[in-house]
Structure 1
Amino acid sequence: MSAEADLIKLYSGKILQLASDIPHTEPIEAPMAQAKKRSPLCGSTVTVALNVEDGKISAFSQDVKACALGQAAASVVGANAIGRTAQEIEAARDELKAMLKDGAPAPQAPFDGLEVLLPARDYRNRHASIMLALEATLDAMNAARESACA
């Protein structure tokens, strides 16, 4: 199979469906914290704003400027972020990274929808874009925790 055919296969209908329906794109008013992550290779960015109550995300918004793979990842993250702790976000990030780089299984629920990105394992140049949503969410949660302690 040619590289072009492989790339077309990578952008499955499910990935494109997720990319076209990203939740929580409306800004939240007066967020506790926000973080922006950028992939240096492709220029994709994800900016996350959130509020945290009792150690869990209580409000979440994201601005996603990424390829379809990064958008699909942001869609899964956005659908599941509210109610999650920093530890859960960190575990999902680590599991997604291991799935992409080390052939590990897909992240556990509630982020198991990231399994749709398994075909991207072979496209290392796409990994950074896929990781952006979880990395930005974790950075924003850490910023919220730091501001609460200050």
Structure 2
Amino acid sequence: MSAETDLIKLYSRRILALAADMPHARRLAAPMASVKKRAPLCGSTVTVDLDVDAGRITRFGQDVKACALGQASAALMGQNILGRTLAEIEAARDTLKAMLKDNGPPPAAPFKGYEVLKPAREYRNRHASIMLALEATAQAMTEAQQADCA
């Protein structure tokens, strides 16, 4: 396969559609926690705002400045983020990382759909951008829960 064909496969219509229709694509006013993560290699950034009650996300907003792959990943996460627990976020994050690095399976429900990003396995320089949304969300949940306990 040529490099051009690989790139076209990588940026499939599904990935571009996800990137164009991102759920919760706005910052929240007065969130319990706000975390900004940056991928040093490519400069992608994701800022996550959220509120947590009884260990579950009740409000969520995200500002994503990333390539289409990072945007698609954030969109997939955002589709079912409300009501999720830290354990669910961490499981999805760890499974996605294993999918990209170790040829593992994609995250399962409630975070289904990540199989669309399987072609990105070959592009290690894009992995950090793909991981940003879940990493920022896990950190924000941890911070919100710590603040709630204080």
Cα distance in 1 for residues equivalent to 2:109 and 2:8: 28
Which residue pairs with 1:105 in the alignment?
105
Q: Deviations over 1:119-145 (max 9, x none)?
A: 111111100000000000001001101
Aligned pairs (5 A) from 1:1-150: 1-150=1-150
Query: Which range is displaced more, 20-29 or 82-91?
Result: 20-29
SS in structure 2 at match of 1:112: coil
User: What one-letter code is carried by the residue in structure 2 that aligns with 1:46?
Assistant: V
Cα distance in 2 for residues equivalent to 1:141 and 1:9: 34
Cα distance in 1 for residues equivalent to 2:128 and 2:59: 25
When normalised by structure 1's length, the TM-score is 0.98
Aligned-residue offset at 1:4: 2.2
Aligned-residue offset at 1:7: 1.0
User: What one-letter code is carried by the residue in structure 1 that aligns with 2:66?
Assistant: A
Gaps of 5+ in 2: none
Aligned-residue offset at 1:113: 1.0
Aligned-residue offset at 1:30: 1.1
Cα distance in 2 for residues equivalent to 1:90 and 1:117: 18
Report how many residues are paired. Answer: 150
Cα distance in 2 for residues equivalent to 1:28 and 1:46: 14
Cα distance in 2 for residues equivalent to 1:42 and 1:128: 8
Cα distance in 2 for residues equivalent to 1:46 and 1:29: 17
Q: CA RMSD in A?
A: 0.8
When normalised by structure 2's length, the TM-score is 0.98
Cα distance in 1 for residues equivalent to 2:127 and 2:26: 26
SS in structure 1 at match of 2:133: helix
User: What one-letter code is carried by the residue in structure 1 that aligns with 2:122?
Assistant: D
Cα distance in 2 for residues equivalent to 1:124 and 1:88: 25
The percentage of aligned residue pairs carrying the same residue is 68
Aligned-residue offset at 1:8: 1.5
Cα distance in 1 for residues equivalent to 2:103 and 2:23: 28
User: What one-letter code is carried by the residue in structure 2 that aligns with 1:133?
Assistant: A
